[in-house]
Amino acid sequence: MSFNKYLFFTLTVFLLIQNVPLSAQGIENTAKVKALNNYVNFSNESTHGLLIVHRLLENFNKSINKFVDLPDQKINFYSNKDLPQDIFEDPDDWFYETSPNEWYKKIEQSKDQLPTGVESKLSETAQKMKIIIASINKIRFDLEDMIQKLDLTKRENLSLVYDKLEEAVIMYKEFYTHQQVLESEVATFYKTLKVTENEIQFPEVVKSISDLYVSTRTALHALYIKEDENYAELIKKQQLALTKFSGIQLTDYNSTRLINPKIQIYWNNIIKQSKESIAAQQLFVESENIPEEFKIYNKYYYYYNISVINKFNRYGNGIVFEMNRIVDYLSIPLPRFFEVPHYFKVIYPKILDKTEFLAASDPVIKALPKTVKGRSVVTATRTINVDSFIVDFQMYDHKIVDRDIVSLSFNGDWIVEKYSLTEKPYIFTLKLNEEGKNFLLLHADDMGRQPPATIALSYKYKGKKQLIILNSDTLKSEVIEIIVK
d(CA 44, CA 37): 10
Pairing of strands 476-484, 375-379: parallel
**Helix runs in 81-202, H state only:** 100-109, 116-149, 155-191, 197-200
Q: What angle do CA 254, 258, 262 make, to 5 degrees?
A: 125
**Edge-first strand listing for the sheet containing 358-359:** 358-359, 426-431, 390-397, 453-461, 464-472
Q: What is the DSSP letter of 309?
A: G
Q: What is the DSSP letter of 94?
A: S
pLDDT at 345: 95
pLDDT at 396: 86
User: 333 and 29 in contact (C-beta within 8 Å)?
Assistant: yes
In 3D space, the residue among 470, 483, 419 whose CA is nearest the CA of residue 442 turns out to be 470
User: Coil, helix or strand for 189?
Assistant: helix
Answer left, alpha or beta for residue 355, where phi above 0 means left and psi between -120 and 50 means alpha: beta
For the chain, residues with pLDDT lower than 50 are 1-22
pLDDT single digits (tens) 88-141: 997 676 788 899 999 999 999 988 889 999 999 999 999 999 999 999 999 999
DSSP labels for 328-354?
HHHT-S-PPPPP----------TTT--
pLDDT at 287: 84
pLDDT at 17: 35
**Phi/psi at 322 (nearest 5 deg)?**
-70, -40
pLDDT at 288: 84
pLDDT single digits (tens) 294-333: 888 889 999 999 999 999 998 878 999 999 999 999 989 9
Burial of residue 66, with CB atoms counted within 10 A of its CB: 0-12 exposed, 13-18 middle, 19 or more buried = middle
d(CA 208, CA 198): 17
Q: What angle do CA 248, 249, 254 make, to 5 degrees?
A: 125
pLDDT at 19: 40
pLDDT at 401: 64
pLDDT at 207: 95
User: Coil, helix or strand for 298?
Assistant: coil
Sign of CA dihedral 224, 225, 226, 231: negative
Sign of CA dihedral 244, 249, 253, 258: positive
pLDDT at 82: 79
